[in-house]
Structure 1
Amino acid sequence: MHNHYQVLIIGGGSAGIMVASQLIEQKKQTNVAIIEPADTHYYQPAWTLVGAGTYNYDKTSRPMAEVMPEKAIWIQDSATGFDPDNNTVFTAQSGEVTYDYLVVAPGLAYDLDLVPGLGEALGQGVVCSNYTDPRHTWEVIKNFKGGTALFTQPTTPIKCGGAPQKIMYLAESHWAKSAVSAKTDIVFATAGTIIFGVKPIAETLMEVVNRKDINLRFGYQLKKVDGPNRIAWYAFADHMKEHNHKDVEIEKDGDLTGIHFDMLHTAPPSVAPEFVQTSTLVNQAGWLDVNKNTLQHSNYKNIFGLGDVAGLPTAKTGAAIRKQVPIVVDNIDLLINHDRMGAKSYNGYSSCPLVTDYGKMVLAEFDYENNFTPDPKLRQMLISDSSKEHWRLWMLKKYILPYLYWNKMMKGLDV
């Protein structure tokens, strides 16, 4: 049996479902298939709130069958490789699947081997990650009795670059309600040189950091984790600046600097899924090689890519996907019907809702140039400056965005 589809989509995450839904609902395309092995679809933006004990984990998931567009064909299987010259995708069980147009949106994968020791330590004891198990993060934060609380991130691109900070701000808020905060040093160790790449947002976050007395250590590249001895080892550029110094326990091992911790939160090192990395479709950095404005593959005109797998110089967020989807949908529809591309161009828009306290949030919205680009729709929510902390932005994060996600975005409606 030969499986051929006009549009084949790899990935049933935000990007894949939204592309399929919009092609079917808005463009009336009838021959759309999605390759996705998972039974469950997660709304991951809420995992920050789960990790801080203020959102129910069970409400972050729905059965994949519920979010799959009814008129799409769901191939419940894993993609394993490509033969782009013959318009073919290989799968684990379903054999070869061929297509007229291919959309590659499988998201990213975690490669814990990039930080030796992290795989053994993660999810055990006091080493946690909202990215992998936000319920465990909440246990760690709730049971923390003081000492050095180390928040860090790997040197790879990650989902939502601001997420490793958000949980730190919420943890500080939680601890501030008890005696724990008096005997706690909060350290944020990052390979970066600034707290955030968008100037008005960075200014607000520095105020938050000062209010919460958080020690920022820039230029710290996470190299390995010693779970049993609770030490995170970094390569450190000595000339880098530090902010709100805390006298935490440090050791040296050759060129490496070790920070002793009593709890550690990190994002896992992230890479493109292996079947993408080993294909001919990636750039030198190992991410899907697409045009940053049209999202069309650099070498194959009938392949498009978007979402976390795409090698785009912007943050990997659901908000970016929301702006990428209509461009991919428009281009594919016009290619099918008129053999030409559309005029829409993706400007690198992404956004990171930076929760700074229970009940407070800043919304970092930006483009390829790191310009602050607030969405005019927020004005309707009576938020005049989303670079400042606001409770209405917290309401947006906790209630409005999840509602819009499940009820509008997943169903192919414009938001």
Structure 2
Amino acid sequence: MTETKKHQIVIAGGGSAGIATAASLLKRRAGLDIAIVEPREEHYYQPGWTMVGGGVFVKEETCRSEASVMPEAVTWIKQAVRGFDPEVKTVDLADGTRLAYDLLIVAMGNRLAWEEVEGLEETLGKNGVTSNYRYDLAPYTWELVQQTRKGRALFTQPPMPIKCAGAPQKAMYLSCSEWEKRGVLGDIEVEFHNQGGVLFGVGDYVPALMEYIERYGVDLNFGSNLVRVDGAAKTAWFATEDGEVERTFDMLHVCPPQKGNAVVAASALANEAGYADVDQHSLQHTRYPDVFALGDCSSTPNAKTMAAARKQAPVAAVNALAQLDGKPMAAQYDGYGSCPLTVENGKIVLAEFGYGGVLKPSFPRWLLDGTRPSKAAWKLKANVLPSIYWNAMLKGREWMAKPVGMA
């Protein structure tokens, strides 16, 4: 017989979005009965992996124990979610337990679909094939950058949506910056293969990025999608409008294709694309008012970044409490996302934007012009943002993230 337990609020996922939302809820209303369902013992600061791959951070700086970030007042259920039944307001766990809830918040992230590129999983971490999208592989990126002195380096970007749309080219810029510093860049052919048709989705930032594309001599290939890898043969194949293109390589940095979370996608919560179907402003589910979703598992059409989750968590918290109280939605998310584009070691183009590509700068232009590379933006990413993540976002301290009311 299935055991059923009840909690006032169940949060599925103890990653960035889930922990931040729990912390925001408790800051507003101590004493809430909140359960967080999360099987992992480790908690990662994923934006740091780009810096690990660029030799700026070591990977251990980006990982802490899940226990250390879990709010003391919540019940941590160390299980995986197996399914959702929003009709009867329950969550099924891997051990057979069923959780009942008054309100559900889904924050389970998306899925890195490595298997969609033939031969990729077998060669990751060897044969010059790497990715900053995995904690264990980001150090290998830096190892390859140090080892490479000539030949061809390929960097790939799959179809959208992906986690941090700028991350594939961040890896490329930091690699080129190091090769330029060592005086070997002229002996390395650098190619960027992007399935999309533009370098970056918000045009205001493209001119600065193109200056670096030209400076580093990068060969841009749009409409080019990685479909197969033979690591031993150091060969990759790309699907293009003109057919399949074969390229040999000495280094290959891969951004994996990405899908909706498998459990979410298989549930009644999902839209056709496999993401939790929510209102893009309130984060409330379109069919189940006692369900909210945020972060990379949700259908909101924003850039899937840590900065987006930081802005979404307080909105989800405010609106979840309004729903519990039988009141109208009280806060709205404007699509804010941030992508600190590491164009060289020591400088960043700080892209900040909302729905529709509208610029959403956090600082006045005279202090920090996000459309131009700056040392100030680098210091923000390298020295300030990690501390904000661990000590503010995950603690319910909403510095520069306080929610605004519904229009």
Q: Distance in 1 between matches of 2:31 and 2:176?
A: 49
| Counterpart for residue 270 of structure 1 | 258
The question of whether the paired residues in 2 share the 8 Å contact of 1:156 and 1:271 is answered with: no
Q: Distance in 2 between matches of 1:384 and 1:88?
A: 47
| Counterpart for residue 373 of structure 1 | 360
| Counterpart for residue 346 of structure 1 | 333
Whichever residue aligns with residue 268 of structure 1, its letter is: P
The question of whether the paired residues in 1 share the 8 Å contact of 2:119 and 2:230 is answered with: yes
| Counterpart for residue 12 of structure 2 | 10
Partner-residue secondary structure (3-state), 1:333: helix
From 72, 75, 80, the equivalent of 2:74 is: 72
| Counterpart for residue 90 of structure 1 | 92
**1:200 positional shift:** 1.6
The question of whether the paired residues in 1 share the 8 Å contact of 2:261 and 2:274 is answered with: no
Partner-residue secondary structure (3-state), 2:76: strand
Q: Which runs of 4+ in 1 moved over 6 A?
A: none
Partner-residue secondary structure (3-state), 1:86: coil
| Counterpart for residue 388 of structure 1 | 372
The question of whether the paired residues in 2 share the 8 Å contact of 1:313 and 1:368 is answered with: yes
Structure 1, 404-413 or 271-280: larger mean CA deviation: 271-280
| Counterpart for residue 140 of structure 1 | 144
**1:154 positional shift:** 1.8
Partner-residue secondary structure (3-state), 1:177: helix
The question of whether the paired residues in 2 share the 8 Å contact of 1:125 and 1:140 is answered with: no
Partner-residue secondary structure (3-state), 2:126: coil
From 318, 338, 346, the equivalent of 1:330 is: 318
From 278, 288, 297, the equivalent of 2:285 is: 297
**1:392 positional shift:** 0.8
TM-score normalised by the chain length of structure 2: 0.94
Q: Distance in 1 between matches of 2:322 and 2:183?
A: 62
**1:190 positional shift:** 0.2
**1:94 positional shift:** 5.6
Whichever residue aligns with residue 298 of structure 1, its letter is: T
Whichever residue aligns with residue 126 of structure 1, its letter is: G
| Counterpart for residue 50 of structure 1 | 52
Q: Distance in 2 between matches of 1:139 and 1:283?
A: 41
What 5-or-longer segments of structure 1 have no aligned partner? 239-254
Q: Distance in 2 between matches of 1:108 and 1:125?
A: 27
1:403 has 2:398 as partner: no
Q: Distance in 2 between matches of 1:203 and 1:179?
A: 25
1:172 has 2:188 as partner: no
Q: Distance in 2 between matches of 1:386 and 1:162?
A: 14
**1:295 positional shift:** 0.8
The question of whether the paired residues in 2 share the 8 Å contact of 1:82 and 1:279 is answered with: yes
The sequence identity of aligned pairs, in percent, is 42
| Counterpart for residue 246 of structure 2 | 258
Q: 1:34 to 1:94 in 2, by over 3 A?
A: farther
The question of whether the paired residues in 2 share the 8 Å contact of 1:155 and 1:222 is answered with: no
1:308 has 2:317 as partner: no
Whichever residue aligns with residue 182 of structure 1, its letter is: G
Q: Distance in 1 between matches of 2:32 and 2:268?
A: 29
From 62, 66, 88, the equivalent of 1:60 is: 62
**1:173 positional shift:** 0.9
**1:26 positional shift:** 2.2
| Counterpart for residue 251 of structure 1 | none
- Taking only aligned residues, the RMSD between alpha carbons, in angstroms, comes to 1.4
From 308, 328, 343, the equivalent of 1:356 is: 343
Q: Distance in 2 between matches of 1:315 and 1:142?
A: 31
Q: Distance in 2 between matches of 1:318 and 1:35?
A: 20
Q: Distance in 1 between matches of 2:315 and 2:219?
A: 41
Q: Distance in 1 between matches of 2:308 and 2:208?
A: 22
**1:272 positional shift:** 2.0
1:39 has 2:41 as partner: yes
* Alignment deviations for residues 121-165 of structure 1 (CA, whole Å, 9 cap, x no partner): 222220000011211111111111311110002224211010000
* Alignment deviations for residues 33-83 of structure 1 (CA, whole Å, 9 cap, x no partner): 100000010111111010111112111111100100000110011001011
Structure 1, 55-64 or 25-34: larger mean CA deviation: 25-34
**1:179 positional shift:** 4.1
* Alignment deviations for residues 300-356 of structure 1 (CA, whole Å, 9 cap, x no partner): 11011000011121111010111111111111111222x023232212111111011
| Counterpart for residue 129 of structure 2 | 127
**1:385 positional shift:** 1.0
